[in-house]
Amino acid sequence: MGDNLRVGIIGPGGAGRGNTMGFATRDDCDVVAAADVSPNSMDALEDAMEERVDGYSRGTLARYTGEYEYSEMLAKEDLDIVGVFSPHSMHDIQVKAAMRAGCSVIVEKPMANCVGDAILMHKMAVGLGVHLVGGYQRHYEPRYITGREVIQSGQIGELERFEVYLTQRWGGGGWRGDPRFSGGGQPNDSGSHLQDIFMWMTGFLPESVYGTTDMIFEEDGEVIPKQVEINSYSDVVMEGGAEGTVTIVGNTNVGFEEWVILEGSEGTLTIKDGMWLSRGDGDPAEVEATRPDGYPTGKVEQLVGLVKGEHDRNYTSGINGIRTSWLTNSILAAGRGPEDKNHVDCDALIEGEGSSRDEVKTLIAQAAHWHGME
């Protein structure tokens, strides 16, 4: 207690409970309050805290149960940090409420279902002087940190082609299968991670998408009706002309797989079962993945370090939520068009959200030079 950071949680069920324990098991943080619609989620959180947090006494957590009780928690608890781990459609309003209460925030992916909301969330964090950390943990994995350095140092030259792929047995269970709460299926859920890490490593922004989505999910040879997108197959052109595919598959029995292949004018970087760099006619050479000294090990450490002044860069800032929501929105829009495959102009999409490519590029430049955000 004492000088510890006071942490409140919105949505501590399921994955949110794991994120919550990242704070609760730190010596410099105290999870003092939580809000959720389900008393069972609160009970499960207290079970976990009793088991894993030294000195925790059941019943000392302030519990706010109900659809809007997070507002009361924000008003009463004098919090330093808020974790927003609720269903996707709730992120926008809850993150903004927490920031208006003066709190720094960590929010699960996707940061927002709509790119216009993501832009506003980022701008509010900057304007209010609070920290906003997104839930994209791959930014803290050595293979992707190193992959980004390989690209930015010019070792593969100018990027020309790419392949981004994720497959997972994903059937839209629970609220994820309800578009009112999820805002979209697998492309907006696990698929968000691979879209994000690809654009973080390359710095790209999307220009156009030509693709399709479907709601096909099979169980024992039978197609199970779903209300959200299970699979997406997209041909994507990035600003600058690089072209490639982004494939997100939920209807599979092979388990979880992901890879990113980046072909440049001077070589190819493959992040799949390790990391490999091919240059010229030579055989692929394995690249050792490393973490720079002082680089945070995860998103919880990132936010705590920012709040305490121990880190001066935010590696999962709102900029990443903007980029990712822009591409995800375009992929989903292609799947909702009248034809089997549809073309989406990414500029037209973001202009419909009240923004523009120029504004996003300005925000990125300002974040990098003024605010230590990546």
Measure the CA–CA gap between 220 and 269, rounded to whole angstroms. Answer: 38
| Under 8 Å between Cβ of 233 and 334 | no
Instruction: State residue 370's pLDDT score.
Output: 86
Q: Once rounded to an integer, what is the mean pLDDT over residues 279-306? A: 94
Which residues fall within 8 angstroms of residue 254, CB to CB, at 6 or more apart? Answer: 167
pLDDT in tens, 88-118: 999 999 999 999 999 999 999 999 999 999 9
For residues 141-159, give the mean pLDDT.
Answer: 97
**260-287: pLDDT as tens digits:** 999 999 999 999 999 999 998 778 999 9
Domain formed by 139-300+312-370, architecture: 2-Layer Sandwich (3.30)
From residue 112, alpha-carbon distances to 2, 44, 96, 241, 309 in Å are 34, 26, 11, 27, 27
Distance CA(16)–CA(36), nearest Å, equals 11
The closest of 258, 366, 356 to 318, measured between CA atoms, is 366
Distance (Å, rounded) from C-alpha 325 to C-alpha 309? 29
- Report DSSP letters for 323-352, one per residue: HHHHHHHHHHHHHTSSSSSEEEEHHHHHHH
- For residue 104, what is the enclosing H or E element? strand 104-107
Please give the full DSSP string across 109-174, using - where no structure is assigned. SSS-SSHHHHHHHHHHHHHHT--EEES-GGGGSHHHHHHHHHHHTTTT-SEEEEEEEEE------G
Q: How large is the greatest C-alpha to C-alpha distance in the chain, in angstroms?
A: 65
Q: Which residues pair with 276 in a beta bridge?
A: 270, 286
Q: What is the pLDDT averaged over residues 183-210?
A: 97
Q: Model's pTM, two decimal places?
A: 0.96
Distance CA 41, CA 66 (A): 12
Residue type, 236: V
> What is the model's pLDDT at position 282?
78
Q: Tens of pLDDT along 167-193?
A: 999 999 999 999 999 999 999 999 999
Query: Is 296 a residue whose pLDDT tops 70?
Result: yes
- For residue 2, pLDDT over 80 is answered with no
Q: Does the structure show a pLDDT above 90 at 14?
A: no
Q: Given this model, what pLDDT does residue 1 score?
A: 54
CB-CB contact of 125 with 300 (8 Å): no
Q: Per-residue pLDDT for 295 more than 90?
A: yes
- Domain ranges for the chain, please list them: 5-136, 139-300+312-370
Mean residue pLDDT across the chain? 96
The answer to whether residue 255 scores a pLDDT higher than 90 is no
Tens of pLDDT, residues 306-316: 999 999 999 99
Give residue 283's pLDDT: 87
Give percent of the chain above pLDDT 70: 99
Strands 29-36 and 5-10 come out as parallel
Query: Do the Cβ atoms of 272 and 259 come closer than 8 Å?
Result: yes
Helix spans in the chain (H): 15-24, 39-52, 69-76, 91-100, 115-128, 142-152, 179-182, 190-202, 299-308, 318-335, 346-352, 357-370
Which residue, chain included where needed, has tokens 């096909």?
A: 216
* pLDDT surpassing 90 at residue 39: yes
Angle at 21 between CA 32 and CA 199, to 5 degrees: 115
What is residue 55's predicted lDDT score, i.e. its pLDDT? Answer: 87
Question: What's the CATH code, domain 5-136?
Answer: 3.40.50.720
* β-pairing verdict for 285-286 and 132-134: unpaired
